[in-house]
Amino acid sequence: MNVLVTGGAGFIGSHLVDALLARGDAVRVLDNFSTGTRTNLAHCAAQIELVEGDVRDLATVERAAQGCHAVLHEAAIVSVAESFMRPEETRDVNAGGAANVLHAAREAGARRVVIASSCAVYGDARALPLGESAPPAPLSPYAETKLAAEDQCRAACAAKGLDTVALRYFNVFGPRQDPSSEYSGVIARFMQAAIAGRGCTVYGDGRQSRDFVFVSDVVRANLLALDAAALGGVAINVGTGTRTSLLHIIHRLGNLVGKEIAAAFAAARVGDIRHSQADIARARKLLGYEPAVAFGDGLAVTLEWYRQQPKARGRG
């Protein structure tokens, strides 16, 4: 099958590229390298087709989608905190980009589009775990744009032959997650600090928790979504069904590096949700998805990967 991966040079996208190539699919990547890197694709550059461009540009997306049977749409501004500083750009990239991808996929005669959504659409949960029928209550421009993309995704199913699904990722972590920005994912940030022998900055009291899911589980959910029978634009949680607090991560990381890690506490971030934990019954039922990587194992593999990176990655 010919598959387009938008954001294919990014953290999750590049792992999807690897998995698709491993199962014999032909892969095209659309990326503007704003946050994705050539390094993430260096090992497979000869096996993929690369379209360098922006999801905000419809003509580019149409060119990238030509001849594709399916699209995995990962390109996005992924930081909740950053979305408050750049709300318009976040809307253009996340909601506008999804609209372009759905339009181009339909024009190209693709059969399936899988879009990356987020558990951020739930906002602050009153009851955990979060099932997909919980009412959306976005707390940030980021979450609003992901919800808008989901709506478009559902609407696009009315188009003849195109089937879509939105995967609501919980907190994904693993090798290749960029640690270098202040707004990078928390595990990447904490790992970088631990390796450098520095303390971690904790926004809030550190008791907030997330459902941290290892990237290979998210990849498997995407492959299952690609191959599933018609999904009709439904949203599906992709997590583990468990949750871990930031203080617990710091403790586990300390055990892994063999040294206690100090935490410096700072004010909680605006728009931060307190707890999240996925109910994954729908993913089990519709996709046959089951998370396979225990949190501690994922943490150890990820730490090893950061340790092997050249010093340049350890900025920030």
Residue 12 binding ligand UD1, by CB under 6 A: no
C-alpha span between 113 and 75 (Å, rounded): 13
CB-based burial of residue 170 (10 Å sphere; 0-12 exposed, 13-18 middle, 19+ buried)? buried
Bridge partners (DSSP) of residue 27 are 3
**141 near ligand UD1, judged by CB under 6 A:** no
Give, as one character, the DSSP assignment of residue 91: I
By beta-carbon proximity to ligand UD1, the closer residue of 79 and 240 is 79
Site string for ligand UD1, 152-181 (x = CB under 6 A): -----------------xxx----------
Binding footprint of ligand UD1, residue count (CB under 6 A): 24
Considering the rule CB under 6 A, would residue 184 count as an interface residue with ligand UD1? yes
Nearest to 190 by CA among 173, 205, 204: 173
d(C-alpha 41, C-alpha 50), whole Å: 10
Segment contacting ligand UD1 by CB under 6 A, of 115-123, 279-287, 298-306, 307-315:
115-123
From candidates 78, 148, 162, 218, binder to ligand UD1 by CB under 6 A? 78
Residues 192 and 314: beta-carbon distance below 8 Å: yes
How far is residue 176's CA from residue 144's CA, in Å, rounded to a whole number? 26
What is the smallest separation between the CB atom of 208 and ligand UD1, expressed in angstroms? 5
Asked if 185 touches ligand UD1 (CB under 6 A), the answer is yes
80 binds ligand UD1 (CB under 6 A): yes
Distance CA 86, CA 273 (A): 19
Chain residues in the site for ligand UD1 (CB under 6 A): 78-80, 118-120, 169-171, 183-186, 189, 201-204, 208, 210, 246, 269, 272, 276
